[in-house]
Amino acid sequence: MMLDTLIKNASVIPMTERGLVLYGTSVGIKDGKIAYLGPDCPEAAEVIDAKGRVVMPGLINAHAHTAMCVMRGYADDYTLQSWLFDKVFPVEARLDERAILSGAVLGMAEMIRTGTVSFSDMYFCQPAVAKAVERIGMKANLCNAVIALGDGYDFDADRAVIETRKLLEEYGNTGAVRADVAIHAEYTSPPEIWRRVHEWAVKHGAITHIHLSETAKEHEEAKERHGLSPAAAFCKYGIMDTPVLFAHGVWLEDEDMRLIASHGGSVAHCPVSNLKLGSGMADVRRMKDHGVNVCLGTDGVCSNNSLDLFEEIKLSALLAKGEALDPTALPAYDALEMATVNGAKAQGRANETGRIAPGFDADLIMIDTLAPHLRPIYDPIATVVYSAHGSDVCMTMVRGRVLWDGNDLLTIDIEDALREVESYAMPIVRGE
């Protein structure tokens, strides 16, 4: 069999077995899938020499608001409530589809360059974003979260509802682009709205994406409203009966973790954003001990300032160690697993991506470990987790298609993307 592409001489971190590194290994790709993994060099139409480099699964950003790239640096150093209601919501009311699309494209450029191959995105104008994802060649689970505030709320007239229905009709729960459904948070809609969103999840087999217990205020006020924590309230109304991806989970209690784990739910840990907003630190080790599938997300750039998942990988490990006063609390492999294997599971892609194994999609990244700050290397996994940055990624491939070759973004005109953000979107953000 003639392969389409062969990556040879690589140090491969396959994420198929704890601590496993395959040295001097070849990865063969055929029709967008991994067709060979081993020491030989089968015949291929294209050969990439990975000598001195690490090849590993591409990263999965399990919680993002990608188009918020247009607000990078716009609202720094605010509490979550002030940031959201005083700064973000007023800007978002002004953003149109063109501005949102410009931010989404810029965000995808950043993610591709820093090794992310798939992202779970909660934002507006997602049908248009879906077309951009297809054109650019990434993978994405897209949703527009329902926010039902005020007595005059009309579910059927809600833009989020209209867009969700369109996404579900066009994309469903298979393929490179998938439709999720979303409840913004416990505090932005009542249970009767949750039930209506849940009906979509049941009918379409969709994942429900929800912000959960991000701040102490949010968590405690939910108890006043429902007599239950946010997680327990969602469970009471049946929302966890279908797959759920919760974002943040900073203030989860033991019973919340047990509920999420027993229903097969996932939590996207977003340490940079949570720290920047002063929301707190999620107890990842405790969640994992309860059996929760913990993955990683960046959140939006307006509350993080970066979509570089390597920052989240390292910080998640360090925070867990510091919180527990135990350097073994979250080993390097576990941190990397959160950004690959666990992210794939959270997206409903566990048998498709997140690992390097025959039959999986060729969603790969290559890290240039010849850089001085990455030498010497005793353990490639530890090197990737504790020393690497997104800027060290020298190739990003999705379904066998190279999107970033270390010099150029091959599916995005970055100059045009920057021009669109700066000439069109920025004046809208500033209210000009």
* Integer CA distances (angstroms), 179 to 72, 209, 268, 331, 350, in order: 26, 11, 18, 33, 16
What is the per-residue pLDDT for 150?
A: 86
Among residues 178, 232, 175, 233, the alpha carbon closest in space to that of 201 is found at: 178
Rg (CA), the chain: 21
Give the per-residue pLDDT at 151. Answer: 87
Query: What pLDDT, on the 0 to 100 scale, is given for residue 84?
Result: 85
At residue 335, what is the residue type? Answer: A
418 in a structural domain:
no
Q: What is the pLDDT of residue 33?
A: 98
Q: In this structure, are strands 244-248 and 208-212 parallel, antiparallel, or unpaired? A: parallel
Model confidence pLDDT, tens digit, residues 332-361: 999 999 999 999 999 999 999 999 999 999
Regarding whether 52 and 87 lie in a shared domain, the answer is: no
In a shared domain, residues 268 and 370: no
Burial class, 157, CB count within 10 angstroms (exposed 0-12 / middle 13-18 / buried 19+): exposed
Q: Which residues of the chain have pLDDT under 50?
A: none
Place of tokens 């070759």: 405
Q: Is 270 in the same domain as 397?
A: no
CA-nearest of 261, 227, 264, 262 to 242 is 264
Domain with residue 84: its CATH number is 3.20.20.140
The position carrying tokens 């005059």 is 152
Do residues 44 and 86 both lie within one domain?
no
Q: 63 in a domain, yes or no?
A: yes
199 and 126 in a single domain? The answer is yes
Indicate whether 196 belongs to any domain: yes
Q: Does residue 357 share a domain with residue 245? A: no
End residue of a domain, out of 316, 346, 376 = 346
Q: Which residue(s) pair with 37 in the sheet?
A: 27
Both 49 and 85 in a single domain? no
Q: What is the pLDDT of residue 80?
A: 81
Burial of 286 (C-beta count, 10 Å sphere; 0-12/13-18/19+) = middle
What's the rounded Cα separation, in Å, for the pair 297 and 338?
10
**Rounded distance between C-alpha atoms, residue 186 and residue 285, angstroms:** 25
Domain boundary at 346, 366, 383, which? 346
CA atoms of 275 and 270, how far apart (whole Å): 9
pLDDT for the residue numbered 79? 85
41 and 88 both lie in a single domain? no
Quick check: is 292 in a domain? yes
Q: What is the largest CA-CA distance in the chain?
A: 66
Q: Which amino acid is at 13?
A: I
Say whether both 262 and 399 belong to one domain: no
The verdict on residue 72 lying in a domain is: yes
Q: Which residues constitute the domain of residue 272?
A: 59-346
Task: Specify whether 160 is located in the same domain as 264.
Answer: yes
CB count within 10 Å of CB 216 equals 12
Query: Phi-psi region for residue 52, left (φ > 0), alpha (ψ -120 to 50) or beta?
Result: left
**What is residue 172's DSSP assignment?**
T
Rounded Cα distance, 52 and 191, in Å: 54
Tokens 């959140």 map to which residue? 299
416: in domain: no
Do 208 and 132 fall into the same domain? yes
**428 found inside a domain:** no
Count CB atoms within 10 A of the CB of residue 341.
20
- How far is it, in rounded angstroms, from Cα 301 to Cα 421? 14
d(CA 408, CA 420): 19
The structural domain count of the chain equals 2
In a shared domain, residues 244 and 255: yes
Final residue before a domain boundary, out of 346, 381, 396: 346
Q: How far apart are CA 157 and CA 165, in angstroms?
A: 12
Task: Tell me the CA end-to-end span of the chain in Å, nearest whole number.
Answer: 59
Q: How far apart are CA 317 and CA 329, in angstroms?
A: 8
Q: What is the pTM of this model?
A: 0.97
Indicate the angle between helix axes 126-136 and 159-170, nearest 10 degrees. 40
The answer to whether residue 431 sits within a structural domain is no
